[in-house]
Amino acid sequence: MNFPTLNPFKAMCLVPLTALLLASAPAHAQTAPAMSPSSMPMGQMQKDTAGSHDMKASMMMGMDEMQKMPMSGDTDKDFAMMMKMHHQQALKMAEMELAQGTSREMKAMAKQIIVAQKKEIAQFDKWLAKQK
C-alpha cells in the first residue's frame, strides 16, 4: 500500500497539534459551565433524540478509549494506532447514520465513509502487522 507522502515540516507541525488537541479535550470537558435546560435560553436548547444521544455516547466512549491508549514512543506507530481508532469511531457514527438518519444525502455520505474508512483501517492494520 502506498501512503501519501507528507512534507516533513507539515508532519512536525501535525504531531504537536494532535497532542495538544488530545491533551486539551479533558480540560475543556471539565471547564464547561454547568447548564440545565431551565438555565439555557430557548434557542439554545438541544433536541435529544435517541440518534443524537447514541451518537454522542459513542463519540465520548471513543475519545475515552483514545485517551487511555498508551503511547509507544514511536511516532509512526502511535499515529497508525490513533488514526485506526479514529477511523473505527467514524465507522460507528456512519453506521448509526444509516440506522437512524433520515437524510438521503447523509446516508449516501455515510456509505462512502464506511467504504473509505474500512480501506484505510486495513492499510493501518497491514502496516502495524509489519512493525511487530
- Report if residue 6 sits inside a domain: no
Rounded Cα gap, residues 115 and 118, in angstroms? 5
The residue ranking higher by pLDDT, 57 or 100, is 100
* Residue 123 scores a pLDDT above 70: yes
Quote the number of domains for the chain.
1
Contact 127, 80 (CB under 8 A): yes
Stated pTM of the model: 0.57
Domain with 90, as residue range(s), is 75-132
pLDDT digits (tens, 9 = 90+) for 59-80: 777 777 777 888 999 999 999 9
pLDDT at residue 4, as a whole number: 56
Question: Which residues neighbour 71 within 8 Å (Cβ) at sequence distance 6 or greater?
Answer: 78
- Report if residue 102 sits inside a domain: yes
* Residue 101 scores a pLDDT above 80: yes
- Report if residue 95 sits inside a domain: yes
pLDDT at residue 15, as a whole number: 55
pLDDT band of residue 84 (cuts 50, 70, 90) is: very high
Query: What is the share, in percent, of the chain residues with pLDDT greater than 70?
Result: 60
Rounded Cα gap, residues 33 and 43, in angstroms? 18
- Report if residue 55 sits inside a domain: no
Provide the grid cell at 105.
Answer: 444525502
pLDDT digits (tens, 9 = 90+) for 6-15: 555 455 545 5
pLDDT band of residue 132 (cuts 50, 70, 90) is: confident
pLDDT at residue 64, as a whole number: 78
- Report if residue 45 sits inside a domain: no
Question: Which residues neighbour 33 within 8 Å (Cβ) at sequence distance 6 or greater?
Answer: none
- Report if residue 57 sits inside a domain: no
Q: Which amino acid, 50?
A: A
Ramachandran region, residue 73 (left: φ > 0; alpha: ψ -120 to 50; beta: rest) = left
- Report if residue 132 sits inside a domain: yes
